[in-house]
Structure 1
């Protein structure tokens, strides 16, 4: 049995998150049309904000000692905390690792949460709806569709959002 932990990413772990973010962007390229740059890197321009702005947070997911993913959180203007990025390496997907980490995070920080995903990403849609139901119970969360931010450089698909509050019940 492996030990799955979630830890704040210190400045020393920034290169680890940056490397994992390349894998994340590659995975998301299927839904967003991202292409690598001339050096073969996808890049993730908002990533530095999660290290430089105190209200944002980057967390490393570890399996034993290996870094196997990350979670990025940020406050939303209307109050909830957003899970802005969530990634688990393919070797550990569909094994309960992501669910364990997501529930650990939501339960350890009671309050309002917002989680965005793309409906075309069927695995993510199933995953986040299951996490929401497990975290607060069926029917105790809501969904809405929102346009992608207009500040993004590419034409992104609409976001499907789940909103829930882990401080209730």
Structure 2
């Protein structure tokens, strides 16, 4: 796999990001039980907000000429940034691209960070704990919080850490 480029997604990238979003939501459906809409898509309000809300920003991850993932950050104007969505296509996983992408995204927005994931997603558990340790050493925490509006789901795990410019 060739080098990784992490850049802000523009309106010109919107269609590519939307397709990657569908793959991301499909992956998460294993843990959330979310089924596609009648038209075969998944809910996309959070992605639309990433392009339209000044408090959020979408990133596109590219390896060579290939889009390999997305990241969405929210909380830009608040005290804590949240990695609201993060996805790497399966063919690029376990190559170091995910860790590199998170490092680059987080470096763009120094300060306190939070990242949520599901305990049932074993790969995500290992990945996000490794990310926290790589970025923050021992200075990170993990706690469980209920999923808003979804009492049927187990609580999400939340990792918190802080970065500095």
Range into which the TM-score falls when normalised by the shorter chain? over 0.9
CA distance in 2, matches of 1:108, 1:74: 13
Q: Which residue of 2 aligns with 1:149?
A: 148
User: Secondary structure of 2:47's match?
Assistant: coil
CA distance in 2, matches of 1:67, 1:156: 31
Quickly say closer, same or farther: Cα 1:78–1:110, change in 2 above 3 A: closer
Q: Between Structure 1 and Structure 2, how many residues are aligned?
A: 165
Q: Which residue of 1 aligns with 2:125?
A: 125
Q: Contact (CA 8 Å) 2:143, 2:158: kept in 1 or not?
A: yes
CA distance in 1, matches of 2:54, 2:67: 23
User: Secondary structure of 1:87's match?
Assistant: strand
Q: CA deviation at 1:78?
A: 6.8
In the superposition, the TM-score normalised over structure 1's length comes to 0.90
Q: Which residue of 1 aligns with 2:115?
A: 115
CA distance in 2, matches of 1:64, 1:40: 29
Q: Deviations over 1:6-55 (max 9, x none)?
A: 11011111111111010001100100001112222223232111111111
Q: Which residue of 2 aligns with 1:41?
A: 41
Q: Contact (CA 8 Å) 2:81, 2:109: kept in 1 or not?
A: no
Q: 1:162 aligns with which of 139, 152, 159?
A: 159
Q: Which residue of 2 aligns with 1:58?
A: 58
Q: Contact (CA 8 Å) 1:75, 1:82: kept in 2 or not?
A: yes
CA distance in 1, matches of 2:3, 2:47: 27
- 5+ unaligned residues in a row in structure 2: which ranges? none
CA distance in 1, matches of 2:46, 2:82: 14
Q: Which residue of 2 aligns with 1:17?
A: 17
CA distance in 1, matches of 2:152, 2:17: 25
In the superposition, the TM-score normalised over structure 2's length comes to 0.92
Note the aligned Cα RMSD (angstroms). Answer: 1.9
CA distance in 2, matches of 1:11, 1:155: 36
Q: CA deviation at 1:76?
A: 7.8
Q: Which residue of 2 aligns with 1:84?
A: 84
User: Secondary structure of 2:144's match?
Assistant: strand
Q: CA deviation at 1:77?
A: 9.0
